[in-house]
Amino acid sequence: MGRMSELALEIEELSFEGLTMREIAEELEIPIEWVAATLQNLEENYDDSMDGDLASGLASAGWGTDEDYGGGCDML
């Protein structure tokens, strides 16, 4: 992984820990503009299309879906 990718991960991590942009910039000894641009880019590229969707999450984990196994509990 390149240095910029590592830096972006560090910025994201520190942001999740609750540090302000200024605190992150000081911690990493980088310009605050880099922090702001990185956080804005992360926000713009965030994909929450699977958040809270149990069926697609299980399918993604390899458990399949109801359709894969012939439907629900109508086997009587």
Domain boundaries of the chain, sorted by first residue: 1-47
What is the Rg, in whole angstroms, of the alpha carbon atoms belonging to the chain? 20
- Whole-prediction pTM value? 0.57
What is the average pLDDT value for the chain, to the nearest integer?
Answer: 79
- Report helix, strand or coil for 37: helix
Mean pLDDT throughout 31-38?
95
Give the pLDDT of residue 58. Answer: 67
9 pLDDT tier (thresholds 50, 70, 90): very high
Distance between start and end Cα atoms, the chain: 54
Q: How far is CA 57 from the centre of its chain?
A: 14
φ, ψ of residue 48 to 5 degrees: the values are -105, 25
Kindly tell me if the per-residue pLDDT of 73 is higher than 60.
Answer: no
More confident residue, 37 or 72: 37
- Helical pair 21-28 and 32-44, crossing angle rounded to 10 deg: 120
Using an 8 Å Cβ cutoff, are 21 and 39 in contact? yes
